[in-house]
Amino acid sequence: MSILSIAILFFIIMESANVLILYFWPDSRLGNGVGVFNAFHDSADEEQKLFTSYLVNWVAGVKLIFIFLLAVILVIGSEQVRMWAVVAMILSIATYFWRLHPIIKKLDAMGCITPKGYSKALGWMISGFLIMFTAALAVHIITGVI
């Protein structure tokens, strides 16, 4: 199994766990559970609860799209297709730092997240995915497996 395949498989496993958490235990503080957001627990308004539930399930569905596409690429894609999939993953995951990370940092600073400092932990976790995919891509290119 190539380094790209290993990175893709690891991501599929990690994201599958996150999808399970979002669908079945959304109030969890593990993975991508939204239990870290105090507002998730504090909302008494039914409309707000339904809207939040919709968005949580929408995110889980989008993650499933990534997972299934990566699984197809892993099973029937050529090594070159896997390489470009890894490039796409690097670029798409990096967008977290453009829009989402500034928001979660602000919420963390405002005391709206429990545990405090979660934004840093999440930032490191997402950085870990970026490092993993970038390292796999670099090893792939250096070893000339194209």
Helix 46-76 with 3-24: angle, nearest 10 deg: 160
Question: What total number of domains does the chain contain?
Answer: 1
Burial class (CB in 10 A: 0-12, 13-18, 19+), 90: middle
Per-residue pLDDT tens over the stretch 56-95 = 999 999 999 999 999 999 999 999 999 999 999 999 999 9
Output 142 or 44, whichever has higher pLDDT.
Answer: 142
Structural domain of residue 98, as residue ranges?
Answer: 3-142
Q: Convert the pLDDT of each residue in 101-137 to its tens digit.
A: 999 999 999 999 999 999 999 999 999 999 999 999 9
